[in-house]
Amino acid sequence: MPNILTEKNNKKTQNIDLMDTTSIIKTINNEDKKVAKAIEKALPEIAQTVDIITDSFLKGGRLAYFGAGTSGRLGILDASECWPTFSAPADMISGYIAGGDYALKHSIEGAEDDKEEALEHISDFKPTKKDVVIGISASGNPQYILTILEEAKKHGAKTIGITSNPHAKLKSIADITITTPVGPEVITGSSRMKSGTAQKMVLNMLSTASMIKIGKTYGNYMIDLQPVCTKLIERANRIIAEICKIPVAKADKYRIKAENNVKTACVMYIKQCSKKEAERLLKTHNGILRKVLQNEKIS
């Protein structure tokens, strides 16, 4: 039997091709229930990683995800969603996939063994001591990922590995390894399933918790969202209205005055000040709305 957990045969699904539809999806659902439990065991390492990422951001550092196949696509997905959700600049969180952009829509399986491309990608990122590099891989063994982590360490960057394999080679390289042993996949070797789900959940935690810790939320409101469509404009107005305890119509007027910046709009209303003064107050408090408003009573 292989020593890679994600490549082992799942005894509970050996006859899945003989099951009826309901039995197939129930089986998949039962296997998926194991993902959250596997992640729970890795919470200490996830918390450590969040603190490292937060410290990096506060020092002007960057975060980069690297992966092949499903892992690379999930890293790019998480990185790309941080701008609309948190207004995180593109160079603050980035994602790379073995095989390049073409691999986002097409399978390039041999790319995970490409050391030369790994060297090109890490050279493009230009890691420094302030940065964090995360290698994502179900097996934790592809040469692409190992090379990325090795090169990042040479430049002093903090290195993190995310894998579903307790025996992953990347564990000997990464400063911290987040291991989510979800067990054999429903379809043997199909790491886009439980392993991919685990990776998505871990990445959600890492980026969201880090953004919370650098002041990108107020309570559970995404106050740094980009109101670039009707849905997001309406969401921005609701957030302003609820924080300031004013009607949505009034919130809309303040959003417009603040040129679509939710935090600025809230400060303008609560402090009854100009846009320029609101921006100054936010800059003084590193953009953290709670610090600007902490002594204010909102009636």
Catalytic residues: 81, 112
User: The tokens 């670039």 sit on which residue?
Assistant: 228
CA 207 – CA 211 distance, rounded (Å): 6
Which helix (H) or strand (E) segment holds residue 133: the answer is: strand 132-136
The burial of 93, by beta-carbon neighbours within 10 Å (0-12 exposed, 13-18 middle, 19 or more buried), is given as buried
Return phi, psi of residue 15, to 5°: -115, 30
Q: What are the strands of the beta sheet with 63-67, ordered from one edge?
A: 93-97, 63-67, 132-136, 158-163, 176-179
Tell me the C-alpha distance between 225 and 56, whole Å.
22
- Residue 215: exposure state from Cβ atoms within 10 A (0-12, 13-18, ≥19): buried
Pairwise CA distance, residues 291 & 70, whole Å: 40
Q: What share of the chain is helix, strand, coil (3-state, %, to 5)?
A: 55, 10, 35
Contact yes or no for 139/198 (Cβ under 8 A): no
DSSP category for residue 174: -
Which amino acid is present at 208? Answer: T
DSSP bridge partners of 163: 179
What the block records as the tokens of 187 is 């379809």
